[in-house]
Amino acid sequence: MATYVGFAMSDSMFTEYCTIERSVLHEMDLKSLLKEEYVSCCNPSHVATISAIKARYGIDLHIPEKPNSVKLAHGDYLVVIAVVGLPRLTDRHEYTESEIQRATFRFGMYAITEVLNG
């Protein structure tokens, strides 16, 4: 059983036939979860967004040198951090405090509760 944390998910992360349960994580739940062992699916292009999450919530996500490949199995969890309202950074490398405060951050947890034979 493993917990993966990232900013997106892909259909290729899931086995062909599985049951998935989604729940909402609150900030404190995510902080507690990140005190345990987890696999970061973040990549270096997420640095500004990770910095924004740290500034807003005090959450410090690990950035591996190269993103981990994810294949979820029974009992695994995937935490997806969704950020709405941060502009694309085209001429700078970080967000302003005002931009971070206006953004909306949502944390969803997907649990693989059953893997079926297809």
pTM for this entry: 0.88
Domains of the chain (ranges; CATH) run: 3-115 (3.40.50.11170)
pLDDT digits (tens, 9 = 90+) for 31-74: 999 999 999 999 888 888 999 999 999 988 989 988 778 999 99
State both tokens at 97. Answer: 């405090």
40: helix, strand or coil: strand
* Residues 14-20, mean pLDDT to the nearest whole number: 90
Asked if 51 and 83 count as a contact pair (C-beta separation under 8 A), the reply is no
DSSP characters over 70-114: ----TT-EEEEEEEESPPP-SS-SS--HHHHHHSEEEEEEEEEEE
* Residues 91-118, mean pLDDT to the nearest whole number: 89
Residue 104, classified by CB atoms within 10 Å of its CB into exposed (0-12), middle (13-18) or buried (19+), is: exposed
